[in-house]
Structure 1
Amino acid sequence: MRLVLTGTGASRGMALGRARLEHPSRYLVDERPLEESEVDAEAERLYRAIAIARDELQALREKLHGALAREVAEFIDAHSLMLADRELTSGLFELIRVGRYRASAALKMQRDRLVAVFEAMDDPYLRSRKEDIDHVIGRVQAGLARESSVEERKLAARVGEILVSDTVAPSELVPLAEHGVLGVVLSSGSQVSHSAILARSLHLPMIVAAHQALSHIQDDDLVLIDGERGEIVVHPAAQDLARFRAWQRELAQKGKRLALLRDADTRTLDGTPISLYANAESPADVAQARTLGAAGVGLYRTEFLFLQRKEIPSEDEQFLAYRDLVLGMGGLPVTIRTLDLGADKADASGLVMDDEENPALGVRGVRLTLRHPQILAVQLRAILRASGYGPVRILVPMVSTVEEMTSVRRLLKECARDLRSAGHEIAEHIELGAMIEVPAAAIALGGMIKSLDFVAIGTNDLIQYTLAVDRNNDHLANLYDPLHPAVLKLLAQTIATAQRAKRRVTLCGEMAGDRRYTALLLALGLTDFSMHPGLLLEVRETVNALHREPLRAQATALLRAPTRARIERVVENLKKAVG
């Protein structure tokens, strides 16, 4: 019998396949108390299971390649650090040796204790990290049971199947896609979680918060999912299959259309040139950006050089990475963001404070690097040396005051002077800009703009800070709203302030690559977008079908709209600007 379930669409696209269920908490817990003679052997079993889990993560990390390698590695590194955390492991061995619990029971008790601690935290970001506990404990349980790895169990979902699960870690998504899994349905999660963002980059249809999925879908049920509508059809009828076939035909036609745009200009129908840049963090990203006709790299993340290592990367190591980036773009401009580590990132160098109560609002970005000016100086010197090979700009993250930019600029000038004295060829002038992601920076930009050569807007953090919503918390997902009136006013104000001061302004967040917001951003005056390379052609197609001037005429109505519903109506009217 046909059954329709609903969730939240997290990654667009449709998929038709047999369901493969992965139930949570599937491991048996042996609650029999240990005899004294069994304690050492049981502790050894747990030690081996943890070692297996660590080895699995390391092997998975070594297999990473392509444009998403850095993004996935970040989560693998976070889980590796958790396995090395004495707070987790020492408590487990104490439960075995003192409490006489078997390893499976000790894991369950430690999991429940840590999850309770996370759930009691005031900070929504930290509450959401309880999912990491589940992923790590599940991996150790798999090793303990001498079963297949977490990836292998999830990869029981074979080519042509739909994975139905409670959660999925970002580190699991790439192998899922590579093995031909067509889509993912999760009973929890949010559309702005890291897994959802990664699914969109992979073009893997995903539905989250489908709370009835695990109880109403059986293994091998034929399932049709629609990642845009958030709809799951179990045992689809003829009309459902017809809709799917029509979508497939449309997708094939779209692919042919987009292929023709690789070498096309990005220009509105009334002649306004629009610049589409790529966000990048690996050589594969850079190659894809060049292939798809990016105007340059609008955001190059440098954290991958610092993650999961005990020493800070040297100036030469960083220089080689930045030089290769500049050369890879063949003379097109690149914007390199200085280090943006915080306690929410996996860092083994000791640079990051790991005991912050609220890492999202803590010592990260420029707040961290100004505490360690010698580390910032090394990075600035490396970037300056790379500037001798092509056009480079430097972007500073998490800026909230003029004084922060003044300090960075002073250090930049000192580094440039020293390099020239040492005989290095560097650019005569290198632009220095700020990432506007803190509401205070957006509001005070008028007084800060003279200290900036350019501006970049980071909408992902700007939205969550403006609305006090953690984008990884599925309980708050409905409140994370790019169309909130306050968000649009901050965006419009930032764009207008930068343009009045004749400073270039680029938007680098998720909104830039989502064609649903393209007309809106053009209406607000934006002309520079930076996005995942895989989204460049879609946005180019959208821009090339719009008239900009009619959109700009709607900006006042857009900003006066008091509610999201009114804003949505204005956005619908913007579609009339299509040629």
Structure 2
Amino acid sequence: MEWKGIAAASGYAMGPAFLLEEEKVAVQKQTLSPDQVGAEVERFDSKVTQAIQELEVIKEKARKKLGDEEAEIFSAHILVLNDPEYIGAVREKITNEYINAEAALQEVTDNFIAIFESMDNEYMRERAADIRDVSSRVLHRLAGIEEKSLDDVSEPVVMIAHDLTPSDTAQLNRDKVAGFATNIGGRTSHSAIMARSMEIPAVVGLKNIVEQVKTGDYVVVDGSQGVVHVNPDEVTVASYKEKQRHFAARQAELNKLKDAHSVTADGHRVELVSNIGNPLDAVGAKKNGAEGIGLYRTEFLYMGRNEFPSEEEQFEAYKSVAEMFDKESPVVIRSLDIGGDKELPYLDLPKEMNPFLGYRAIRLCLDRTDIFKVQLRAILRASIYGNVKLMYPMISSLAELREANKVLDEVKDELTSKNIPFNRNMEVGMMIEIPAAAIIADQLAKEVDFFSIGTNDLIQYTMAADRMNERVSYLYQPFNPAVLRLINMVIQAAHKAGKWAGMCGEMAGNLTAIPILLGMGLDEFSMSASSILPARALMHRLSQSEVKPLAERVLQMESAEEIVRYVEESVPAIAELM
């Protein structure tokens, strides 16, 4: 049997299945008498304290096995259990409604999870798993159920589970667990992130793999393609053993490039940088050989909370990333891209029929300059700690760009009047993600220091195809000739004005797209951390003089299929690195 899911961590694993079945806690709501409430709150508090102590131990284990970045996941879990809004809500429910701790915890947790899962942002939806993980730990302690130890596995197995929590993943013994497969999860779930850090092949989002596998079945996990084979034939097993050998050899070669320059075979230098959502992501980016940060998504500082982050909190978040890199390495911070589909409960935004075309990003910031100025002050203050650059999202006209720069100038004047230092020469750029901006790129280029092409939105706006809608997903195609012509137009406009052009959409890390973009003259490629080394390896094999005519020819082609076929046939190295 073959099952298709989401490729969470590359590589190939095979071995007998070990089915991890979580012991369910049946929560029954019980009514308490007034004189029982105090003791019940104390019982709840004691189990929360026990859970925190356990997480401290797990955190130290994770630090030794995985490093500081992954260990900080458990710091986040500990923060949840210290959060007065979350834990306080459970205490209040016990006290005010006279119900037992298990029922109160379950109801509060369900509400919090519903809030996170309703967000139209994959990263924030995956944070619901954190709440689920810590609440499950406390719930099991309340029920007197001790945690299963995954270290008891006696031979290398493929772990099969409905879900592996970050706590589960951190305690996996890499000598005994070859890979894992789960019913649920996504590429940005913590278990997936940690699997990549531990280099354990993983496939998630398989929907019902637990129901299809029993302990002892022979399982192959293809973490590169997101496929799981259950009891495959000998030919399939032999094929995957060969893939496993090839993958190990390739990874060893890629790791040699972590400190190498991103340069083509004929000496053309570009920047390979990373997209991040928080300071922890920057640690992973640096470990994977990133030469800087090409997109720092700042909206995550604003989400999953009940009030705006302070200027000081933002300043520390930006400063910490700037200080991770040397003074020459870029750290491009995108101003707030919130609104429409990314809701903040405390902002009380109106519901919109077309949120992607609505009140969001720079439109919101220019309307709410009180919010915008706080962020700009924090970014400017952080600019003296590294090569910080500011980037505006969702710009569609010269008027918007000029208005944003006017607000920035006002903030600079405020800081100057208070003798607060900042980099007066900080580069200021904008994202090109709206076709209107691409069409007037020649005009915009005169008033910015750089462009960064956000292909995720540019493709969807160009093709009028919602990238989350499966029924029109066939239209969401980065190699569509119209999309490629707009990208080329932007790069040429930037260069004509003496400015640099980067790309921070998913397309920047696409191995098939890289020869085209390199041939067009793209200066900076910003991608997920795991894509950096394969991209660098490909660039080392390419020559600028050869990919330039390739790009020129591609721009004359009529379909995405024709373009992909031509590029992959012309550049055999793409297949070798996939």
Asked whether the two chains share a fold, i.e. TM above 0.5, the reply is yes
Q: 1:217 to 1:83 in 2, by over 3 A?
A: farther
Q: Give yes or no for contact 1:305–1:313 (8 Å, CA) kept in 2.
A: yes
Aligned pairs for 1:84-483 (under 5 A) are 84=86, 125=120, 143-144=138-139, 146=141, 160-166=156-162, 175=170, 181-187=177-183, 203-208=199-204, 210=206, 213-280=209-276, 294-303=290-299, 305-306=301-302, 312-340=308-336, 342=338, 350=346, 352-353=347-348, 356=351, 363-463=359-459, 468-471=465-468, 481-483=477-479
Q: Give yes or no for contact 2:170–2:194 (8 Å, CA) kept in 1.
A: no
Which residue of structure 2 aligns with residue 553 of structure 1? 549
1:162-190 superposed Cα distances (whole Å, 9 cap, x missing partner): 34345567x66863778775434344667
1:398-455 superposed Cα distances (whole Å, 9 cap, x missing partner): 3333333222211222222333344444434222111233444444534433332211
1:244-295 superposed Cα distances (whole Å, 9 cap, x missing partner): 4433433443344234334433222233222222335666655666666644
Paired residue secondary structure (1:399): coil
Query: What amino acid is aligned across from residue 353 of structure 1 in structure 2?
Result: D
Matched, 1:506 2:502: yes
Query: What amino acid is aligned across from residue 490 of structure 2 in structure 1?
Result: T
Q: Following TM superposition, by how much is the alpha carbon of 1:14 offset from its aligned partner in structure 2, in angstroms?
A: 1.0
Q: Give yes or no for contact 1:67–1:281 (8 Å, CA) kept in 2.
A: no
Gaps in structure 1 of 5+ consecutive residues: none
Q: Following TM superposition, by how much is the alpha carbon of 1:19 offset from its aligned partner in structure 2, in angstroms?
A: 2.7
Hey, what's the Cα distance between the residues in 2 that align with 1:166 and 1:376?
42
Hey, what's the Cα distance between the residues in 1 that align with 2:27 and 2:38?
14
Q: Give yes or no for contact 1:67–1:283 (8 Å, CA) kept in 2.
A: no
Hey, what's the Cα distance between the residues in 2 that align with 1:436 and 1:77?
37
Q: Following TM superposition, by how much is the alpha carbon of 1:569 offset from its aligned partner in structure 2, in angstroms?
A: 1.0
How many matched pairs?
563
1:509-561 superposed Cα distances (whole Å, 9 cap, x missing partner): 33333434422432443231123445433221110011233322233443454
1:462-520 superposed Cα distances (whole Å, 9 cap, x missing partner): 4455564355x788877754445554444334333333333211112333334344224
1:226-256 superposed Cα distances (whole Å, 9 cap, x missing partner): 1233332223555444444433433443344
Q: Give yes or no for contact 1:107–1:137 (8 Å, CA) kept in 2.
A: no
Paired residue secondary structure (2:571): helix
Hey, what's the Cα distance between the residues in 1 that align with 2:217 and 2:294?
44
Which residue of structure 2 aligns with residue 569 of structure 1? 565
Query: What amino acid is aligned across from residue 411 of structure 2 in structure 1?
Result: C
Q: Give yes or no for contact 2:334–2:390 (8 Å, CA) kept in 1.
A: yes
1:323-375 superposed Cα distances (whole Å, 9 cap, x missing partner): 44444322214233244353666968x3x336645766655432343343233
Q: Following TM superposition, by how much is the alpha carbon of 1:224 offset from its aligned partner in structure 2, in angstroms?
A: 1.2
Query: What amino acid is aligned across from residue 409 of structure 2 in structure 1?
Result: K
Hey, what's the Cα distance between the residues in 2 that align with 1:172 and 1:478?
38
Q: Following TM superposition, by how much is the alpha carbon of 1:394 offset from its aligned partner in structure 2, in angstroms?
A: 0.8
Greater relative contact order, per chain length (Cα 8 Å cut-off, separation 6+): 1
Hey, what's the Cα distance between the residues in 2 that align with 1:422 and 1:306?
27
Q: Give yes or no for contact 1:270–1:547 (8 Å, CA) kept in 2.
A: yes
Paired residue secondary structure (1:215): helix
Q: 1:200 to 1:448 in 2, by over 3 A?
A: farther
Matched, 1:530 2:503: no
Q: Give yes or no for contact 2:184–2:206 (8 Å, CA) kept in 1.
A: yes
Hey, what's the Cα distance between the residues in 2 that align with 1:373 and 1:470?
30
Which residue of structure 2 aligns with residue 12 of structure 1? 10
Q: Following TM superposition, by how much is the alpha carbon of 1:389 offset from its aligned partner in structure 2, in angstroms?
A: 4.4
Hey, what's the Cα distance between the residues in 1 that align with 2:70 and 2:551?
36
User: TM-score when scaled to structure 2?
Assistant: 0.73
Hey, what's the Cα distance between the residues in 2 that align with 1:101 and 1:67?
37
Q: Give yes or no for contact 2:275–2:529 (8 Å, CA) kept in 1.
A: yes
Q: Give yes or no for contact 2:519–2:547 (8 Å, CA) kept in 1.
A: yes
Q: Choose which of 498, 517, 520 in structure 2 pairs with 1:521.
A: 517
Hey, what's the Cα distance between the residues in 2 that align with 1:15 and 1:134?
25
Query: What amino acid is aligned across from residue 19 of structure 1 in structure 2?
Result: A
Paired residue secondary structure (2:211): helix
Hey, what's the Cα distance between the residues in 2 that align with 1:560 and 1:74?
50
Paired residue secondary structure (1:515): coil
Q: 1:237 to 1:451 in 2, by over 3 A?
A: same
Gaps in structure 2 of 5+ consecutive residues: none
Q: 1:390 to 1:381 in 2, by over 3 A?
A: same
Q: 1:102 to 1:264 in 2, by over 3 A?
A: closer
Q: Give yes or no for contact 2:129–2:189 (8 Å, CA) kept in 1.
A: no
Hey, what's the Cα distance between the residues in 2 that align with 1:254 and 1:19?
27
Paired residue secondary structure (1:551): helix
Paired residue secondary structure (1:554): helix
Which residue of structure 2 aligns with residue 541 of structure 1? 537
Paired residue secondary structure (2:389): strand
Query: What amino acid is aligned across from residue 401 of structure 1 in structure 2?
Result: S
Hey, what's the Cα distance between the residues in 1 that align with 2:234 and 2:218?
13
Hey, what's the Cα distance between the residues in 1 that align with 2:435 and 2:84?
32
Hey, what's the Cα distance between the residues in 1 that align with 2:145 and 2:558?
47
Hey, what's the Cα distance between the residues in 2 that align with 1:490 and 1:149?
61
Q: 1:339 to 1:72 in 2, by over 3 A?
A: farther
